[in-house]
Structure 1
Amino acid sequence: MDTFFKISARQSTLGTEILGGLTTFLAMGYIIAVNPIMMQVAGMPFQAALTATCFGAALMTIIMGLVANRPVALASGMGINAIVAYSLCESHALGVDWRVAMGVVFLEGIVILILVLCGLRKAIMDAIPVNIRRAIGVGIGLFVAFIGLKGGGIIASSPSTYLTLGHLSSPACIVSLVAIVLALVLETIHMKGSLLISVIGATIVGIPLGVTKLPDHWNFGLDFSSFAAPFQIDPASGSMALLAVLTTPALLMFVFSLLMSDFFDTMGTIVAIGDRAGFVDKQGNVEDVQSILTIDSVAAAVGGFMGASSITSFAESTAGAAAGARTGLSSIVIGVLFAIFAFFAPIIGMVSASATCGALVIVGFLMLSGIREIEWDHLETAFPAFITIIGIPLTYSITNGIGFGFISYLVVMAVLGRIREIKPLMWIAALAFLLMFVVS
């Protein structure tokens, strides 16, 4: 096992890999409860969505561990599942059947897999200026911390100022503050497993405060009726769901939108995880990137096939990397846990957003260290880096932040009269982003 996963070679241990896997799983385990609810809005049976969510994540995360040997976890992507539920299925304009929506996801996965196998995805990553690559990881760090603070209630929405301080005396905020303090104290004294302990400790504290909901039922049933969804019959047209996608221009535009989101979300996420797990060099190049991107692309198609929405790499994997995970063994641990909790989903439902707040805030802090590597005296890449950093959390989208960074890079280089220095793939990517923003 040590030889296969290169545990010692990467200066890790068996215990550290298991701990890292547990930390990531608890940080992203909310998807087990959230995704089935989103898919239920789309019209899919809840138990079928739960089965697809768990087994889809388990399958692709284990494959990532065995093939790429990197601590990258995959599951149904938040954001894309919202598009599926509200823009595709519940929309008054489209209102397609969930099987057709899964056909859109499946087709997007096939297209992005072709782009990866052609080397285009890696080539675009290589074409991105180093400062912007570094900025992506920093922006995701702010994004992860923002997700933690927002989910924990410490940051709340406001009609007048958009964002404001939450009610710190509320039970949810109290648990969040306990999670942050606990994670900070344990991290300060270099306690092994500090992030995992903070999640568990905050979950326990949340029981008497009513934030941690104890299971009131156990459901051991599995439902595989959503599998092969794109090849099932669309009730509205009477034809195969995938055929309905291929013959509807509006749905093909959704394929393009999902493609852009999946393409660049994963790119940013992999850079961020690699930076924490030590497989990104000083030039921002990701080791084993082709195998990682290939598996992620296959996962998108598998998600559509199984009815789990698009399965993608999770930024929460940075929590496991921060806990010491360096190999694919941690991914195996995560995958096995997803498979087990297909039967015990109520247990993961006990872990609230408040309980994971501390871990996500600390991870965000750790990821911010990359900001010192950005060459701020080079305006042509420093300003796009700045736009990328603030664009990711402020638009609540990794893809949007990267898009703003790319477009601003082209503008600055054009003004400086250095258009010839822009690599062709950066032109293609920036123009694709511009098209996406206009269409949206």
Structure 2
Amino acid sequence: MSAVVTKSPRANRRPETTAPLQQSTSLDRFFDITRRGSSIGHEVRGGLVTFFAMAYIIALNPLIIGTATDKGGLLISGAPKFLDAAMTEVDTVAVGASIGMVAAGTALIAGIMTILMGVIGRFPIGLATGLGLNALVAYVIAPQMTWPQAMGLVVWEGIIIAILVMTGFRTAVFKAVPRTLRTAISVGIGLFIAFVGLINAGVIRKPAGAPPVELGINGSLAGWPVLVFVVGLMLLVALYVRKVKGAMLISIVVATVLAVILEAVAGIGANVGADNPTGWALNVPQLGSFGWPDLSLFGRIDMLGAFFPDGTFSLAHFITLAVLVFSLLLADFFDTMGTVVAVGSEANLLDEHGMPPRTTAILMVDSLAAVAGGVGSVSSNTCYVESTAGVGEGARTGLASVVTGAAFLLAIFLSPVINMVPSEAASPVLVFVGFLMISQVVDIDWTDASLGIPAFLTLTLMPFSYSITTGIGVGFLAFVFIRAVAGKARDVHPLMWLVAAMFVIYFVQGPLIGLIS
């Protein structure tokens, strides 16, 4: 049996998104606003909600890329991180400058690529530096080479993915994935972003000992930031059930105002571990000083240096680099696939085959975003699952992406205003979108074990492993394995076999690199 392909009840849950019956402007016709059942107002609100749900990356990416060092102990700015040879005294001025440069570059590349997604892909999805991808670059790749060389590898990864799009391979893999797995990916991402929202708000935390996670601090909710999250979530739910337009954006604004007032009165400060466990998780909601952005990281790449350390070629070194690039590529490749399916499904934009409109254009922009991330020295950019928050607010077209991208460009100059929004104010939207997306679980045929088991593993391992790619990979492997042992190996698309083999390599990359080294 195959999964049910009829639309789930969520297709009718937003009657307020109905737009006028005629396409009266060139803007309307270009973005198919009316045809997709939207309006300019919904697109603007949806685009802004997506931006606020993604804006944390402007603060978080610099803490990863801007504070890590390469093999020479240098920051991405080119300055030493430490004042002494023993590496015990950090140069706070140099680190601060590096963080500022990465923040400006992060907003710039995100803004440009998200606008391109809106104009070329015409899809309501935002792009920015990929979390996980940036950690791999900062903590695994950069320590083995210089920062320009590391970013050169990121560019190569993007070029390879772009070639896969142009040859039709990436789209073919997209189409080869069974519809049931696509649905499971979407549901799994819903659980994943809800989990992310709860963690970012401090509602779920990782304690020092067992269990792996717990509610708040020692099983209790404590601190003003958590209260901001609870108030924001309650307000969002109340507005949603009352069918108030702009519910998500309103909840973010109100929660942010509450957070600013609480910080001004109580002086809560940032969460710095044991010293202040009830502080703000990411952004402290207060105004900072304005300054002209430093975009000098743009173009600092070395495309060939990583392959020829000390001017020589080593086969073992080349294979190690190939495995690293492969890891970047595979994570980027399938994170995007899962995200695009989730956003398209939530927006009811998938066709009868489960494909979004203008699939090739969407994937090409995403591929170029990886290249742009390397050129901008901010790590690979990719599609953001937080875009489902904007879709939940009514976004259906590329116009929403243009709005999101414009907000990112504005954020280059208005970062103090953007930093006023703490994660506790934006996280209620992520948790609520998880509820909206999990409704698709009814489209999975749970009576067929060959479909239900891979779907189950996919949607559970995404939040449990804190990785979209891991969930997709395990689901693919389970699907191929079950089909094979059931004597239905011929029913599996050849590309699924190829992808399964690639995931085997991906999951054992650590031991492989160890053997090569």
Please give the TM-score of this superposition, normalised by the length of structure 2. 0.80
Quote the Cα distance in structure 2 between the aligned partners of 1:85 and 1:13.
41
The answer to whether the aligner puts 1:142 opposite 2:191 as a matched pair is yes
Quote the Cα distance in structure 1 between the aligned partners of 2:176 and 2:293.
48
Structure 1 residue 39: deviation in Å? 1.4
Counterpart for residue 67 of structure 1? 120
Select the residue among 424, 431, 436 that pairs with 1:354. Answer: 424
Letter paired with 2:32: K
Which digits, 9 at most, give the CA deviation of each residue in 1:286-336, with x for residues without a partner?
A: 221111001101110111111120010000110011100111111111111
Select the residue among 296, 315, 333 that pairs with 1:224. Answer: 296
Structure 1 residue 215: deviation in Å? 1.8
- Residue pair 2:347, 2:396 contacting (<8 A) in 1 also: yes
Counterpart for residue 156 of structure 1? 205
The answer to whether the aligner puts 1:275 opposite 2:345 as a matched pair is yes
3-state SS, counterpart of residue 181 of structure 1? helix
Counterpart for residue 294 of structure 1? 364
3-state SS, counterpart of residue 128 of structure 2? strand
Which digits, 9 at most, give the CA deviation of each residue in 1:353-411, with x for residues without a partner?
A: 11112101110100001100001111111110010000111111111000000111111
Letter paired with 1:135: A
**1:103-252 to 2 correspondences below 5 Å:** 103-158=152-207, 159-166=209-216, 167-210=220-263, 211=280, 212-230=284-302, 248-252=318-322
Which digits, 9 at most, give the CA deviation of each residue in 1:67-121, with x for residues without a partner?
A: 11111110111111111111222x4xx2x22111111111110111111111111
Quote the Cα distance in structure 2 between the aligned partners of 1:322 and 1:314.
14
Counterpart for residue 49 of structure 2? 23
1:244–1:76 CA distance, 2 compared to 1 (3 A): farther
- Residue pair 1:230, 1:305 contacting (<8 A) in 2 also: no
Report the RMSD for the aligned CA atoms in angstroms: 2.1
Structure 1 residue 247: deviation in Å? 6.7
**1:318-337 to 2 correspondences below 5 Å:** 318-337=388-407
The structure where helix makes up a greater share of residues is 1
Quote the Cα distance in structure 1 between the aligned partners of 2:134 and 2:432.
27
3-state SS, counterpart of residue 160 of structure 1? coil
Quote the Cα distance in structure 2 between the aligned partners of 1:336 and 1:245.
45
Structure 1 residue 61: deviation in Å? 0.7
Which 10-residue stretch deviates more, 207-216 or 359-368?
207-216
Quote the Cα distance in structure 1 between the aligned partners of 2:389 and 2:288.
29
1:435–1:63 CA distance, 2 compared to 1 (3 A): same
Select the residue among 320, 327, 333 that pairs with 1:257. Answer: 327
Q: Which runs of 4+ in 1 moved over 4 A?
A: 231-234, 236-240, 243-247
Work out the percentage of aligned pairs sharing the same amino acid: 40
Select the residue among 417, 426, 433 that pairs with 2:496. Answer: 426
Counterpart for residue 364 of structure 1? 434
Quote the Cα distance in structure 2 between the aligned partners of 1:151 and 1:16.
27
In the alignment, structure 2 segments of 5+ residues that lack a partner are 1-26, 69-74, 77-97, 264-279, 511-517
Quote the Cα distance in structure 2 between the aligned partners of 1:41 and 1:5.
40
- Residue pair 2:256, 2:285 contacting (<8 A) in 1 also: no
- Residue pair 2:346, 2:388 contacting (<8 A) in 1 also: yes
Structure 1 residue 246: deviation in Å? 12
Count how many residue pairs are aligned between Structure 1 and Structure 2. 433
Which digits, 9 at most, give the CA deviation of each residue in 1:109-149, with x for residues without a partner?
A: 01111111111111111111111110000000000100000
Which 10-residue stretch deviates more, 414-423 or 267-276?
414-423
1:293–1:208 CA distance, 2 compared to 1 (3 A): same
In the alignment, structure 1 segments of 5+ residues that lack a partner are none
Structure 1 residue 252: deviation in Å? 2.1
- Residue pair 1:39, 1:49 contacting (<8 A) in 2 also: yes
1:383–1:133 CA distance, 2 compared to 1 (3 A): same
Select the residue among 133, 139, 157 that pairs with 1:80. Answer: 133
Counterpart for residue 7 of structure 1? 33
3-state SS, counterpart of residue 474 of structure 2? helix
Structure 1 residue 11: deviation in Å? 1.5
Larger radius of gyration: 2
Structure 1 residue 248: deviation in Å? 3.6
The answer to whether the aligner puts 1:344 opposite 2:394 as a matched pair is no
3-state SS, counterpart of residue 219 of structure 1? coil
The answer to whether the aligner puts 1:393 opposite 2:446 as a matched pair is no
Quote the Cα distance in structure 1 between the aligned partners of 2:309 and 2:422.
41
Which 10-residue stretch deviates more, 320-329 or 411-420?
411-420
1:70–1:349 CA distance, 2 compared to 1 (3 A): same
Structure 1 residue 66: deviation in Å? 0.7
Quote the Cα distance in structure 2 between the aligned partners of 1:220 and 1:239.
39
- Residue pair 2:153, 2:303 contacting (<8 A) in 1 also: no
Please give the TM-score of this superposition, normalised by the length of structure 1. 0.94
Which digits, 9 at most, give the CA deviation of each residue in 1:176-223, with x for residues without a partner?
A: 111111111111111111111111111111123324521232222332
- Residue pair 2:105, 2:297 contacting (<8 A) in 1 also: no
Structure 1 residue 34: deviation in Å? 1.2
